[in-house]
Each structure stands twice: as structure tokens, then as C-alpha cells.
Amino acid sequence: MGEWEALRDRCLQCRACGLCETRTNVVFGVGDPAAEVLFVGEAPGEREDALGEPFVGKAGALLDDMLAMIGLDRSRIYITNSIKCRPPQNRDPLNTEKEACAPFLQRQLELMQPKIIVCLGRISAMEMIKSDFKITQEHGQFFEKNGVLMTALYHPAALLRDTDKKPDTFVDLKRLQAKIRQVCTRTKLDF
């Protein structure tokens, strides 16, 4: 068994915090584990918990549309969340839950060695980029951390609630597309 599969199996068996008592499924991630581009959300929602896959339902359909706008699909990237189990009623994850899940995401990063990390939403950006990240001011900007380029987009669920953010997101996606062309050697875009 490879390291990725071993990590996935450990994650699927995790009982390190109370979320294991309320989850239906662990949501490890989906896509190509060797991808150069990694998308990271915060935590699974109700549909994700039911299906065991990140970003399904309306927000997932919008994410798929966003990827298609820049010539990508789920098979050429990897999508995960920093928290692998759904917090009850979609509440914000507790610090103990973040601490319990952190080693899984850290190991995913070590094994993948992505060139670009795209944070989906403010919470993910605060975890991955910097603790005082301001999504309304810093979305679409690139930051370098430990040799990896990082950016943040508005979360697809936020775009469904506030369609006024969609034009900014389109610009951010085009900026991401240009950065992928610039730094990724194996990620093929459809156009």
C-alpha cells in the first residue's frame, strides 16, 4: 500500500475528536493526488458528509463551473478540506477539531507537494495563508509560503448567497489560470 492510501485509511479510521461520533463519512478528498494545484475548503457540509466527497450539491456544481471557466476539472486537481468530518449543524470547527485534523492535511501537502494552493473561503485562507486574512480585500492575490504559491477565492457557497461577488471571482479565476500556466508543468488546461 502506498503512502497516500495509508494516509487515507488512517484518516477514514480517525477517532481523534468528537466529530467521529456525529459524522456519516470522513471526507478525505477527491481528484488527482499528484496534482500540482490543490483546492482547500474548510469542512464538509451535510451533502458532503452523506456522500463522502468534498464540494457536492449546489456549491460543488458552482465550483465545477468555476473550474471549467479556466479549462480545468476535478480530475486534474485535488480538492480537500482542512477539517475532514462535518461539524454538527455546519458550525465553525472547534480548535480541538482543527488540531486533530491538522496532521492529515499537513501530510497531504507533504505527499502532494503542490505548486499552487487555492483556499476556498475566508476560514481556509486564515488557516493556510495567514491568520488575519481579509477575503474581501485579499481575494485573488498570491502569497508565497514555504515555496508554495497560495491564493484565496470566495467560497462557492458565499457566491451562491451573494452574486455581486461573481465578477471579482471571474477576475480571480483568470489570474489563477495565468499563474497555473506560468508555474505548473503537468497541469493541462483545456484552453
**DSSP class of residue 22?**
H
What is the per-residue burial (b if ≥16 Cβ within 10 Å, else e) of 16-37? ebebeeebebbbbbbbbbebbb
Question: What value does the mean pLDDT take over residues 16-24?
Answer: 97
Percent of the chain with pLDDT over 70: 99
Q: What is the pLDDT of residues 96-113, one digit of tens each?
A: 999 999 999 999 999 999
**What is the per-residue pLDDT for 147?**
95
Whether 34 shows a pLDDT value over 90: the answer reads yes
Per-residue confidence (pLDDT) for residue 1, from 0 to 100: 67
Q: List the domains of the chain with CATH numbers.
A: 3-182 (3.40.470.10)
Is residue 51 within 8 Å of 25, Cβ to Cβ?
yes
- pLDDT of the residue at 191: 79
